[in-house]
Structure 1
């Protein structure tokens, strides 16, 4: 669940921790414990908001539309607008939320070719492969509460806002999924996020009472990525955070990420993150 500049009624289920702030911007770490039994309520974005989902999934509804958000997705919120979050498919989520005053955000847009609208016309962006390296740096930057680097968070907020502006320029809002599809894919996303081993596509489809083709098509429409892309993105992002924050051997990190073969892990990490695991650990992250 994502709060605006202030924590509203969501304070009962959401813990918001201010990480850093400056002239026209702020960053908050948000931990939510809401679940299927928690009644959704209306909140308000106090500023332009871009929230990176790190854990959990939830439904988000605002004026631009509705979306099912999963790890790696970005919630988009317009200043002084109301929204609602729900957790019909599972308990809790963890987000890092970047807030920008409209005037500050407008200055960012002015430097992005093709970005003309100040307001977001879509409620979210899916877990796009192009965003994985940036979100890994964001997660690593907030992983240690006693080691928050405010200048780094300001830079990351600017980079994230610029990336969102570039990705949304000229894009038409996607069609909202049905409640039935949202429920089925929401359950699949939760299962994939928590799984330690690969789950066959046929098994996911069977549990969702769909044919494999229909499940794959529906999953991509609701989540914005395929099941494989979602799982790979999660593994690479978590591996990148471990490389940044720990001294664990690369082989151990590869194994924990679900790769039994180190060469395969190295190859896919380089393709997704733009650097080898060793180079990334030395500071070669994007």
Structure 2
């Protein structure tokens, strides 16, 4: 995504086929939308604050937990009171191969030539991947590449659904910090045991108010959100390490291996042992886009 005037774009990382940027926006209320031009396939994930994004005759109000999937080559307008976003720009060659190898031209958003951008809602797995991605200074390139592929895979699956999965609920800006602080706490502490009171206190809200607010924004309860983050982390460890299953269970915040095995099978359709076996098999294939 090309930078626009008075929007700070910090380059974080580049590889052969993508780059990661941190985008900070802080526009005054009396200014009109700033114009820009998008020259590549990209994903924009809102970390904090809110952004108004306009393309052609469409207007999108984004806030924490929203993602824009953008096709290349179009003009846009953007305005925000204050927001921080993560932007992933992909090479044109990667985008063309993605379309071809996954046959995306026939499905959903990618098949609609009149659709330039699509607004999606992040689930706990996407939020976890986003948080892990921002640990880039401490990750090897192959680890970072793997996280990017996981994120692209999630976004492609969401974008191929014909209808965007964003509700019509209009958020209140003073709720943003509560949700943002809660997500940060979960992503940093999911391996530990903590209570709803611990989580809501960190977010500066009462437990009852926090529970209702969190589910309204994320579509899942705090417990379900934490469980999904723990399961995704365990899935990554099963796929990418040789650690024993019991160690993975405890490392991801589960109190016992039996409960972990039951929850994992409900989520992924396989027991942890069978998933690990298949993941380490030469025949196992995930998203393979060189």
Please, what TM-score do these two structures have when normalized by structure 1? 0.65
Per-residue deviation, residues 100-122 of structure 1 (Å, max 9, x unmatched):
69x95988654226864523353
Provide, for residues 203-252 of structure 1, a one-character-per-residue CA deviation record: whole Å limited to 9, x for no partner: 43455554544322211222343212221121112112222222111111
C-alpha separation in 2, matches of 1:268 and 1:96? 32
Partner of 2:250, secondary structure, is: helix
In the TM superposition, what is the alpha-carbon distance from 1:279 to its structure 2 partner? Answer: 2.2
Higher relative contact order (CA 8 A, sep 6+): 1
2:244 aligned residue (224, 243, 249): 249
TM-score, reference length from structure 2: 0.65
Q: Give the direction of change, closer, same or farther, for the CA distance of 1:260–1:155 in structure 2 (3 Å limit).
A: closer
Name the SS for the 1:14 alignment partner.
Answer: strand
| 2:122 aligned partner | 126
2:49 match? 59
Instruction: Say whether 1:193 aligns with 2:187.
Output: yes
How many residues were matched structurally?
253
Given that 2:108 and 2:162 are in contact with CA atoms closer than 8 Å, whether structure 1 keeps it comes out as: no
Q: What is the Cα-based RMSD across aligned positions, in Å?
A: 4.5
CA distance in 2, matches of 1:14, 1:258: 33
Gap runs ≥5 in structure 1: 21-26
Q: Distance in 1 between matches of 2:186 and 2:117?
A: 29
Distance 1:177 1:170, change over 3 A: closer
Cα distance in 1 for partners of 2:144, 2:203 equals 41
1:93-242 equivalence runs, <5 A: 110-112=105-107, 116=112, 118-122=115-119, 124-127=120-123, 144-146=140-142, 157=152, 159-160=153-154, 162-167=156-161, 169=163, 171=165, 173-195=167-189, 196-206=191-201, 208=203, 210-242=205-237
Structure 2: gaps of 5 or more residues? 28-33, 55-59
1:100/1:132 CA distance change after superposition, 3 Å? farther
1:187 shift after superposition: 1.3
